[in-house]
Amino acid sequence: MTFAVRALRNTAFLVLASAIVLGLTWGYGLSLHDTAFLSGWMLLVGVAFLTAFNLRKKLPVLPLLSVSTWLQLHIYVGWLVIVLFLLHTSLRWPTGGLETGLWLLFVAVALSGVIGIVLSRVLPRRLRLHGERLIFERIPAFRAQLAGEVESLAMDSVTQISSNTIAEYYTSRLQPFFRKPRNVRAHLLGSNEALQRLRREIRSLERYLDSKGQEALKEIEWRVAAKDNLDQQYAVQLFLKGWLFVHLPLTYGLVLVAVVHAVVVYAFDGGSL
Amino acid sequence: MNQTLAIERPRRWDQPFGPGMTESDVDRVLGLDIFRDIDQSQFPKDQSLRHIIRNDGRVVRYQRGDIVVRDGDYGSSVFVIMNGSVRVVFDDVAKSGLVGTATTPKRSVLSALRQVWSNDRMPEVRDVATYQGGDALSIRGESTAARTFIKDVDAFMAEHETFPMTEGQAFGEIAALSRTPRTATVFADAPLEAFELRWQGLRDIRRRDRKFREHIDSLYRKRRWAQELVEVPLLAKLDEATLEEIAQHALFETYGEFEWFTSYKRARDSEDVLKVEPLIAEQGAYLDGLIIIRSGFARITERLDKGERTIGYATTNDAFGLEDIVDHWRDEAGLHLRHSLRAIGNVDVLRIPTALVEQHVLPNAPAHLLRGHTVRVGSAGFAETGPSGLEQSLIDFFVDNRTINGTATMLINTDRCVGCDDCVRACAAAHNNNPRFVRHGATHGNIQVTNACMHCVDPVCMIGCPTGAIARNQADGRVMIDDRICIGCGTCANSCPYNNIQLVEIRDSSGSFIVDEATQQPIVKATKCDLCYGQLGGPACERACPHDALVRIDMRDQRHLAEWVRRS
């Protein structure tokens, strides 16, 4: 089954499940009950199920369906939970501190989840199209290697071609560039303007150098491009790994506040339940 | 001016098989029945029979209980008993208890769960007690002279059915001739002296001396061929008499080098990898017989301008030329091959005469086999080819890199992989906190062939293992290392063309390195992916990938492969 067909199938299930949820709530309302209790409980169970996804990931050696199946459930149950949330809140702004906090947490978790899954589908391809795919943990070592090579080329140019041009350019522009990851935001936005600018600068130096100097410059230029690829890999992979550090703590916060919310509701139900 | 360093050109026997062979040993070997009647005048002076015996053979000695060959292991030599006797074990290897990990039971759910907190924190921790346990097997000797042996031979013989072989008799010819795993376990039941002849020598003597060839081939046919023919799906429905007739007329042929990984490693980076792939059948040639691949794998090519383009690949039990023969049989089309077949690595083929195929095979073959098991290739097109419609350049990539050797190749769709490393963590969790692969590897477009053991069709890593520690699991075909009898010699790691076996220094539970008593050097073990043997649910890496980016796939199943590639 292609991913597109699977997405269609799952969307159909989601629509069906949403219709069932809406039907149940409508029926519950017909019996003169407060539908917020039903939608609230369904919402809490849904959020608990979504949270269990991370627990499943921590138990890779157990035969509890594949993690990709869990992710599909996580995504589509997530959408269903959003429907439940809209139903539960009746599309009204929250009132009171606890409810506002809970509302904000839910929106933040849902948004970070949606953004995360969209980026998970978009960014890997961008990584591939930009250059060689690298293991994140190895990037600093590659960067140090490139920095060392460029420094040697720049220093050697002083003695071998008796010119300070490359060395001065290295000191002012390239050394900072190679020192750490650069242009993270630009890479996330898919811009390669920074690389283009450096290339223009490097090529503009050619007229001041003899053939040996120009050779050295070419060597430097491809290392600049390689470093730019490292930066792109770093930025995108950091983001791919990092968004979970937003999504997960917010989720745990949401679960905690949601439980408090439920306790408060039952504590102050005034006998209506 | 630089001085050029001149050395003598390396020659075939610079490194003899057994460096200790003396003239007197050669005389003794030539006195054995099997060699006595060979006409030595048929051999050229620089490759005389004496040269072959001396350089391609060796005299090996075993103590009582030593295992000479083991069912399922890869071997490339034939043995002739000089002194003493051996026993052939009838029971299969798992039942005989002569393997280690193959008998490991599957974990329970609780046992699987326990790994979450009981895995060691230090890398490569081993329980030393497992190396001194009370198994049927143990090891004596060191390095390539190491032998696994049965501790209690009498008890073993009392429990298992065996039959004896004595002086002058030969065994091991099936694996040496056909590159198939050993088909039986043989152990010395008395101090044994045997002459071991590697396949290169066997090939040369067999080629030069008709009587020797007939003798060896008759052993092979008697012991194996009938079974081999039955295993071919196209022939499975034929009766015994027909199979006998086919067996009499079919040709058994071998192409390529036995230890192909050496030349492959050299050719890998060259532009013309086809140079190391000998032709089995050439496009345009008269089709004298149906070619059935019995082991190894082959590249199917089609001439294009001044080169050849890959349009598919074939592996065990695939039939090449069937499409052409069927067309001839049905429509009386010309009997010419439309494509070429080249050996990748070492390939064994059966060539069944066309007339016999038309007379016996085609009328009885199920229709789906005439379509399914035939290697059908598409018409010329630059973008896509083959029955599956895989991208042309992707097929080239898989074949050139020998990825098609894998039965459980780890492929990653890098367009879906977010680099979360959940696969690596899951692997580590299933292997006492030691990941058994590196999430990195050769890439073509968005397909990455990851550095994880592929559990090859032709596992060259098994060639040369002195103790048989690396072996194919008889039940499911996975290639596994028995940690208890691995001596850390590194032969398997050096042989693996894909660099998927790592040697690690092992530790005890306190984290200290376990060292050799004599040298105080750390004990080394070979490690690799075992497809999560014993774990519940299959390979943890595949199950742990949230984004469906990772798959363990049998590269022989081209349709499944194409479906996976085209999924996104």
Domain-located, residue A149: yes
- For every residue of chain A, DSSP letters joined together read --HHHHHHHHHHHHHHHHHHHHHHHHHHHHTT--HHHHHHHHHHHHHHHHHHHHHHHT-TTS-SS-HHHHHHHHHHHHHHHHHHHHHHHTT----SHHHHHHHHHHHHHHHHHHHHHHHHHHHHHHHHHHS----GGGHHHHHHHHHHHHHHHHHHHHHHS--SHHHHHIIIIIHHHHHS---HHHHHTT--HHHHHHHHHHHHTGGGS-HHHHHHHHHHHHHHHHHHHHHHHHHHHHHHHHHHHHHHHHHHHHHHHHHHHHHHHHHT-TT--
Q: Same domain, yes or no, for A263 and A226?
A: no
Nearest CA of chain A to the CA of B319: how many Å? 29
Is residue B543 a contact partner of residue B551, using CB atoms and an 8 Å limit?
Answer: no
Quick one: angle between helices A97-130 and A67-89, nearest 10?
140
Which of B543, B560, B567, B568 to mutate against chain A (most A CBs within 10 Å)?
B543
Contact call for A61 and B540, based on CB within 8 A: yes
The answer to whether residue B451 neighbours chain A at the CB level (below 8 Å) is: no
- Buried-exposed string B342-365: b where 16+ CB fall within 10 A, e elsewhere: bbbbbbbbbbbebebbeebbbeeb
Is B422–A241 a contact, with Cβ atoms under 8 angstroms apart?
no
Does the residue A272 lie in any domain? no
As a whole number of angstroms, the distance between CA A114 and CA B39 comes to 81
Domain assignment present for A32 = yes
Whether residue A127 lies within 8 A of chain B, CB to CB, comes out as yes
The boundaries of the domain holding residue A223 are 136-236
Low-confidence ranges of chain B (pLDDT < 50): 1-2, 100-102, 372-380
A69 within some domain: yes
| A233 at B interface, C-beta within 8 A | no
**Domain-located, residue A206:** yes
Q: Which fold has domain B393-565?
A: Alpha-Beta Plaits (3.30.70)
Question: Residue A182 in contact with residue A230, Cβ under 8 Å?
Answer: no
**Contact call for residues A84 and A43 (beta carbons, < 8 A):** yes
CATH assignment of B232-390, given 3.40.50.970, 3.10.150.10, 1.10.287.470, 2.60.120.10? 2.60.120.10
A48 to chain B, closest Cα gap in Å: 19
pLDDT of residue B247: 80
* Residue A107 and residue A192 share a domain: no
How far is the C-alpha of B317 from the C-alpha of A247, rounded, in Å? 51
Summarize pLDDT for B232-260 with one digit per residue, the tens.
Answer: 777 877 888 888 888 888 887 888 876 67
pLDDT, residue B421, reads 93
How many domains does chain A divide into? 2
Write out the residue limits of the CATH 2.60.120.10 domain(s) in chain B: 23-90+161-208, 232-390
The C-alpha angle B70, B72, B75, rounded to 5 degrees, equals 70
pLDDT one-digit tens code per residue, A211-229:
888 999 999 999 999 999 9
Asked if A50 has any chain B CB less than 8 Å from its own CB, the reply is: no
pLDDT, average across residues A71-84: 96
CB A194 within 8 A of CB A183: yes
Architecture of the domain defined by B23-90+161-208? Sandwich (2.60)
Q: How many residues does chain B have?
A: 568
* CB pair distance less than 8 Å for A57 and B429: no
Residue ranges of B 116-135 with Cβ closer than 8 A to chain A: 116
pLDDT of residue B372: 44
**Distance from C-alpha of B477 to C-alpha of B462, rounded to nearest angstrom:** 13
B218/B196 Cα distance (integer angstroms): 19
The mean pLDDT value of chain A amounts to 91
Are both A110 and A187 inside the same structural domain?
no
Structural domain includes residue A273? no
Task: Please give, rounded to a whole number of angstroms, the shortest distance from the CA of B507 to a CA of chain A.
Answer: 24
Number of H helices, E strands in chain B: 21, 26
3-class secondary-structure state, position B22: coil
Sequence ranges of chain B with CATH classification 3.30.70.20: 393-565
* Cβ within 8 Å, pair A62-B430: no
Instruction: Specify whether A54 is located in the same domain as A159.
Output: no
Task: Kindly report whether the global pTM for this prediction surpasses the value 0.80.
Answer: no
Q: Which residues face B350 on adjacent strands?
A: B252, B292
- Residue A123 inside a domain? The answer is yes
Sort out which chain A residues have CB atoms less than 8 A from B109's CB and list them: 62-63
Tens-digit pLDDT profile for residues B260-278:
777 777 676 666 777 778 8
Provide the ipTM: 0.87
Residues A190 and A169 in one domain: yes
Closest approach of B243 to chain A, Cα-based (Å): 42
Tell me the HSE value of A202 on the side-chain side, using a 13 A CA sphere. Answer: 24
A61, A63, A136 ranked by CB distance to B419: nearest: A136
Task: Check residue B212 and give its pLDDT.
Answer: 86
Report the alpha-carbon angle A200-A145-B414, nearest 5: 80
pLDDT for the residue A200? 94
Our CA-based measurement puts residue B227 at a distance from the nearest CA of chain A, in whole angstroms, of: 38
CA end-to-end distance (rounded Å), chain A:
47
Q: Do A68 and B548 touch (CB under 8 A)?
A: yes
Say yes or no for a CB contact (<8 Å) between A2 and B440: no
User: A151 and A73, same structural domain?
Assistant: no
Q: Is residue A227 part of a domain?
A: yes
CB contact at 8 A, A58 and B116: yes
Instruction: Collect all residues of chain B within an 8 Å Cβ-Cβ radius of residue A56.
Output: none
